[in-house]
Amino acid sequence: MVIKNFDKIKELFINYLGEKKLRKTPERMLILEDIYHRKDHFDADSLFISIKSKENRISRATIYNTLELLVDCNLVSRHQFGKNKTYYEKSYGFQQHDHLICYECDKVLEFCDPRIRNIQDMVSEIFNFEIVKHSLNFYGVCANKDCEGKKKAIR
C-alpha cells in the first residue's frame, strides 16, 4: 500500500532527529513506516509484534523510545483510554476526530462531527482561550454481540 505523503512524513522525522542530534537508524524508519501502514489504534506491544512478525530484529526499548520521539514531533498521537493502557495512532495530516471506546472489548471507533468544532470555537470565544487541540472520548459498550474481545472480557 502506498502511503500518501510518506516522503514528507519521513522528511519531517529525519529533520526532527537532526535537530535533536539523534541518529537516523533503520529501526526508527521501520517503526515509522509500520505505523503509517496501520489503519487502527495500537499499543506498543502490538507494534512490536507486528514488526517482529516480519522477521525484523528490534527491541521493545527501541519501540518505546521511538514512539516517544514520534509523539514529541507530532507524527503520532498518544491516548489513554482507561484500563491503564496507552494507545497510539498516526497523526500527520489527519483531521481532529473523537473516539468511542468499548469497556468490554476495548474496541476504539473514530468519528468526526463538525458540531464539536463549533462548540470548541464558541467555548474559545466565550472564555477568551486559544484551544490548541482537544480530546473527546465516549465510553460505553459496543452493540456487536459476537465481538471477539467480549468473549475474552471478564464481567
Q: Cα 139 to chain center, whole Å?
A: 18
Structural domains in the chain plus CATH codes: 1-94 (1.10.10.10), 96-155 (3.30.1490.190)
Of residues 42 and 111, more confidence is placed in: 42
As given in the structure block, the three cell numbers for residue 89 are: 495512532
Contact between 79 and 89 under an 8 Å Cβ cutoff? The reply is: yes
Cα 105 to Cα 38, 39, 116: the distances in Å are 20, 18, 26
pTM: 0.75
Contact between 4 and 39 under an 8 Å Cβ cutoff? The reply is: no
> pLDDT, tens digit, for every residue of 108-127?
888 888 899 899 999 999 99
Confidence of residue 155 (pLDDT cuts 50, 70, 90): very low
